[in-house]
Every structure is written in structure tokens, then in C-alpha cells.
Amino acid sequence: MGTKKIAIVVGSLRKESFSRKIAATMMGMAPGKLDMEIVEIRDLPLYNEDDDTASPPPAFTAFRDRIRAADGILFVTPEYNRSIPGALKNAIDVGSRPYGKAAWTGKPCAIVSQSPGALGGFGANHHLRQTLPFLNMPAMPAPEAYLGGIAAKFDGETMVDESLRGFLQSFVDSFAAWVERHGA
């Protein structure tokens, strides 16, 4: 029951991203159980199978190594056009190859989606869920996290909504148990 290393993949590249602020809020919530760190996706070239030779782009290798080193993955993402942002899909594709050697394989994961709108990124959350069985990633089914009206929950970097903070704490506690149960 040592500390589990969690790679957080944030689906937005925006500097003031709410997804990133949510991730930062969640990072300290399971001291001693989860050591959570954002693995950046902004420098990944668009996936092109032609580049994925014996010496792939260094950014691909670095990203795959960081994902492989993790015991679990936390996705925190906005919704773009009722789906996931292209940058996040690209990162998933990069981590999924070479064929048969996906970095994601077997990693327990959980998803938090958010939106300034009311639906909390439900469409993105479920589009992301669709990819996970193919990557053989056990995805935590509950609690589900569709965080709506997100703009009102922050004052700068600080999450000021205590009820949301409490929900995220219970989400992280469940995720810690999920990783413990389904991890390698």
C-alpha cells in the first residue's frame, strides 16, 4: 500500500484553463496515497504513423515514458463541440502506439470533465470513456464528475466553492481506492 504515482492529463492547453486549476486543486487531496503530477501534452506533434519509426519524435518517447511510469491516470478535460479537445485525443493516440505496446495499457483511470455551461462536459466525458476499453484501462465508474458552471467556482487560482471541494475530495478518495484495487 505504498504511494501511487498518478499522471494527470489535462485536456486544455489554455494558460488560465479551469481544467488545470481543477487538477491543481485535486493534487494535494490524497497525501501519502497518491502522488499526482501533470504530464504535459502541449509539445506533442500531431500523431503521424510515418514518424513512428524505430526513432520516433523525442516528445513521443518522453510522453510514453511518463505515462508508463505512472500507476494510474487522471483525465481532467473540457468539452469541445460535445467531444474531447483534439490535443487530448492526440495525446491518447501518441500513448497508444506502437501497436501492442501502448503506454496506457492496464492503467486504472478516472475522468473529470468541466464546463462553464450547465452540462459539465458530459459529452466529452463519455467520448473519452469510449476509448478506454480499447486501451484496456479500467475506468472508475463512480462517482461521475461533470462539473458545470465552473467559472463561478474559482476566484483566481483558488476553488472557492466548498461543496465542490468536498465532492472532489470524495472523488479522489474513491480514485485512490480504485487504483489500489486495479493497479499492477
Q: Which residues bind ligand FMN (CB under 6 A)?
A: 12, 14, 17-19, 78-82, 115-117, 119, 121
Identify which of residues 39 and 102 has a Cβ nearer to ligand FMN in the complex: 39
DSSP string, 125-166: HHHHHHHTTTTT--B--SS-EEE-SGGGGEETTEE--HHHHH
Q: Does residue 61 sit in helix, strand or coil? A: helix
**CA–CA distance, 125 with 123 (Å, rounded to integer):** 5
Identify which of residues 38 and 119 has a Cβ nearer to ligand FMN in the complex: 119
Q: Residue 95 CB, nearest distance to ligand FMN (Å)?
A: 20
Identify which of residues 52 and 161 has a Cβ nearer to ligand FMN in the complex: 161
Q: Residue 158 CB, nearest distance to ligand FMN (Å)?
A: 15
One-letter amino acid identity for 42?
Answer: R
46: which 3 cell numbers?
500531431
Q: Residue 73 CB, nearest distance to ligand FMN (Å)?
A: 17
Q: Residue 147 CB, nearest distance to ligand FMN (Å)?
A: 10
**CA–CA distance, 34 with 6 (Å, rounded to integer):** 6
* Residue 44 DSSP label: P
Identify which of residues 87 and 137 has a Cβ nearer to ligand FMN in the complex: 87
Identify which of residues 102 and 159 has a Cβ nearer to ligand FMN in the complex: 159
Q: Does residue 12 sit in helix, strand or coil? A: coil
Q: Residue 87 CB, nearest distance to ligand FMN (Å)?
A: 10
